[in-house]
Structure 1
Amino acid sequence: MGANALALPDGTIIVTDAMVRLALDDDNELDDNGKAALLGVIGHEVGHIERRHATRAMTGSSLTAAMSATLFGDFSAVAAGLPAVLTQMRYSRAMELEADDDAVAVLRRNGLEPDVFADALEALERARPGEDKLPRWLKKSMSYLSTHPDTAERIARLRKTAR
């Protein structure tokens, strides 16, 4: 799973060890910047929970599965594939931007700027080697299929919010 954080429909937030390691400084200590970055990440995930994004995404996946079963008549295949659908469920671009806004609000309530969350996203990008080696045209094409907004765009949006 690597460096990641996710919110489950029941309100559980999972932050992987690799994500916490990204927030550590050069001495493997969690300094104020690292704490602020993690606060932004957790604020983002809390935003997903408060806005019921997981429930809305699951509902959409379930409706798609039900329509598929109705159209094609093989509900057993849909039922068998449901666990895979749930584990691959992703939030929409709009939901991600809403959760980013929630992270900004949490940071500001704590006297912090959104730059720290942008820094966390940059650290996540650096932790995914190889993706930056793709040709620009391919990355751009893939971004249209992605459920998440382009990370560079999210970072720019957060930096603009900080001004």
Structure 2
Amino acid sequence: MQNFEVDFFDGISSKKESLFLHVDNNRIYFPKKNWAFSLKEIRICPKIANISQTIELPNGGHCILKKEDTLRLNNSFVFWMESKLIYSIISLVFIIGFIIFTLTYGSSWTAKIIANSMSQSAYESLGNVSFEFLEEHYLEPSELDGKIKEKIRLSFKKIAPPNAKLHFYKSPILKENALALPSGDIIMLDDLVLKDQDKSLMGIVGVLAHEIGHIEEKHSMQNIIKTSIVGFLSAYFIGDFSGTLASLGAGIVSLSYSREFEQEADKKAISIMKQHNYPITPLIKLFEALKKEEHESKLFSTHPLFKERIDFLKKSIP
């Protein structure tokens, strides 16, 4: 049994009253008032450092223990930590450090693990959400000549994995761009196709090989997961989750690939092109043409570091 002298406040006036309370068999007793409450009915505020502990009662009142007293329901580690200011500070620093790690390096590490463990149905679902978002906000029906589309599709079929699907659209906003969705859908935009001066459109085939690299390395899914990690943590502290779900589709457009992701996709593109004896030079020329319009092209919002990438592609040519 634990016995304490407390200052009681009825919650109506500021007048305090000195009372004794006893804790026994998961119940708390106030003999003077003839009150008895189960521990489930009351709220015991944890004692932190030298701050007096407070007990909130179901009748609207509350009582405050003496600074030197602590109502212990058990000898838990958490309770011991809360009573030591230095350990409380260390715990706070650890929590802040964990959040910072999660928002930076930790989010990338976590996203990769989650992306590699997700089912194909999850990829399809998130890909569909992204596709619907793009169609609603960014995409319009393609105006490319049917023969050009067919030429690209024939080359695409030779290099594409079973789950990859090619779609043609135009976009006044995204302009010269191509996007790979988690589901394996690749969106090729008209303006980018028209920039390729190669008669066989091998520059576009190279871009498709690059997008296949993003799909096989699960880059877009990792970007979406990273967006969700940051979004859900932010929403937790702000208390508003409405914008978090919307960010899943928007993440495909708004997030750029990292240098690491771009290099992985470029390596995959080079491997695919060489495997099918396709020239890499048309892709380099397409990138160089786009680089000249860097200040106008939306492609650079999602594909940064073009000079570095062009140099990398050139080194792959014997």
Q: The TM-score by the shorter chain falls in which range?
A: 0.7 to 0.9
Higher strand share: 2
TM-score normalised by length of structure 1: 0.75
| Secondary structure class of the residue paired with 1:13 | strand
C-alpha spacing 1:36/1:61, structure 2 compared with 1 (3 Å): same
Residue of structure 2 aligned with 1:95, choices 261, 272, 277? 261
Asked whether the 8 Å contact 2:220–2:252 carries over to 1, the reply is no
Cα distance per residue 1:123-158 (max 9 Å; x no partner): 222344568xxxxxxxxxxx9xx7744111110111
Tell me the equivalent position of 2:37.
Answer: none
Equivalent-residue separation in structure 1 for 2:237 and 2:262 (angstroms): 31
TM-score normalised by length of structure 2: 0.41
- For 1:12-91, list aligned pairs within 5 A: 12-24=185-197, 31-32=199-200, 35-79=201-245, 83-91=249-257
Equivalent-residue separation in structure 2 for 1:10 and 1:80 (angstroms): 18
> Does structure 1 residue 2 correspond to structure 2 residue 175?
yes
Equivalent-residue separation in structure 1 for 2:208 and 2:240 (angstroms): 40
In the alignment, residue 196 of structure 2 is paired with which amino acid?
A
Asked whether the 8 Å contact 1:104–1:113 carries over to 2, the reply is no
Q: For this pair of structures, how many residues does the alignment match?
A: 143
Pairwise CA distance, 1:78: 3.6
Equivalent-residue separation in structure 2 for 1:4 and 1:93 (angstroms): 18
Equivalent-residue separation in structure 1 for 2:277 and 2:193 (angstroms): 21
In the alignment, residue 285 of structure 2 is paired with which amino acid?
D
Tell me the equivalent position of 2:313.
Answer: 158
RMSD between superposed Cα atoms in Å: 2.5
Q: Which moved more, 1:68-77 or 1:16-25?
A: 68-77
Q: Gaps spanning 5+ residues in structure 1: where?
A: 26-30, 132-142
Equivalent-residue separation in structure 2 for 1:83 and 1:69 (angstroms): 17
Tell me the equivalent position of 1:108.
Answer: 274
| Secondary structure class of the residue paired with 1:107 | helix
Tell me the equivalent position of 1:125.
Answer: 291
In the alignment, residue 314 of structure 2 is paired with which amino acid?
R
Equivalent-residue separation in structure 2 for 1:10 and 1:130 (angstroms): 29
Higher helix share: 1
| Secondary structure class of the residue paired with 1:6 | strand
C-alpha spacing 1:104/1:81, structure 2 compared with 1 (3 Å): closer
Pairwise CA distance, 1:21: 0.6
Equivalent-residue separation in structure 2 for 1:81 and 1:10 (angstroms): 17
Equivalent-residue separation in structure 2 for 1:110 and 1:72 (angstroms): 52
C-alpha spacing 1:49/1:79, structure 2 compared with 1 (3 Å): closer
Asked whether the 8 Å contact 2:223–2:251 carries over to 1, the reply is no
Cα distance per residue 1:43-68 (max 9 Å; x no partner): 00111111111111101111110111
Q: Gaps spanning 5+ residues in structure 2: where?
A: 1-173
Pairwise CA distance, 1:83: 4.7
Cα distance per residue 1:29-82 (max 9 Å; x no partner): xx13xx221111000011111111111110111111011112332323444555
In the alignment, residue 266 of structure 2 is paired with which amino acid?
D
Pairwise CA distance, 1:84: 3.7
C-alpha spacing 1:82/1:38, structure 2 compared with 1 (3 Å): closer
Q: Identity of aligned pairs, percent?
A: 36
Pairwise CA distance, 1:160: 1.3
